[in-house]
Structure 1
Amino acid sequence: MKNPRDIIKRPVITERTSEFVEQLKYVFEVDLRSNKTEIKQAIEQIFKVKVVSVNTLRMPAKPRRYGRHSGYTSEWKKAIVQLSADSKPLEFFEASV
């Protein structure tokens, strides 16, 4: 099995994702090759909480220009994790609200 910290890269903290905190939903950037089962197990191991569901999205690469140079941003994967009602809220999301 992969290391859980290799699957979960970082939390995604935006204005929209901070609204999800009230519903016990949290958003993370995850490894492109990881699946929902691996994400669920990694979140449960790292934060010691119970995960109800995981939804994933692949965020496409977008074209960007820097002067006369053009290229693309990296493609990445986002996971929206729903915790059970009896789970404790995650600390780093509480500070941003």
Structure 2
Amino acid sequence: MNQQRLMQVLLAPQVSEKATYVADKNEQVVFRVASDATKPEVKAAVELLFKVSVESVQIANVKGKQKKFGRYMGSRKNWKKAYVSLKAGQEINFVDGGVA
């Protein structure tokens, strides 16, 4: 995997109540990832960008919501999120911009 591809895999951290709950309970971090990203790519990208050891990665495809635009029905795009389990004693601190 080339480094340029790995820089494009992670799009953003997913910040929500559920993501915060998962982070506290299971020591996982939730990321929004590219729609064609694979588990090995996500693992390599997290290890490259944040200098942490990744234990496992689970990926979920999220269906876009149906929305009404005036008289017409439309839908938001489907997207993919990754639950990244870090090895014991490691964490990612997004406030400081890196590893804590």
Structure 2 length normalisation: TM-score? Answer: 0.84
Distance 1:20 1:76 in 2: 19
Which residue is equivalent to 1:3?
5
Structure 2 segments unaligned to the other structure (5+ residues) = none
Distance 1:66 1:59 in 2: 21
Indicate yes or no: 2:28 matched with 1:37: no
Instruction: Kindly report which structure 2 residues correspond to 1:1-97, keeping only aligned pairs within 5 A, or say none.
Output: 1=2, 2-22=4-24, 23-87=26-90, 89-92=91-94
Distance 2:33 2:40 in 1: 12
Structure 1 length normalisation: TM-score? Answer: 0.87
Distance 1:35 1:79 in 2: 9
Identify the structure with bigger relative contact order (alpha carbons < 8 Å, sequence gap 6+). 1
Distance 2:30 2:15 in 1: 7
Q: CA RMSD in A?
A: 1.6
> Paired residues, what number?
93
Counterpart contact for 1:50–1:84, Cα < 8 Å = yes
Amino acid at match of 1:44: E
Aligned-residue sequence identity (percent) comes to 30
Distance 1:20 1:6 in 2: 24
Q: Which digits, 9 at most, give the CA deviation of each residue in 1:37-68, with x for residues without a partner?
A: 00000000000000000000111122210221
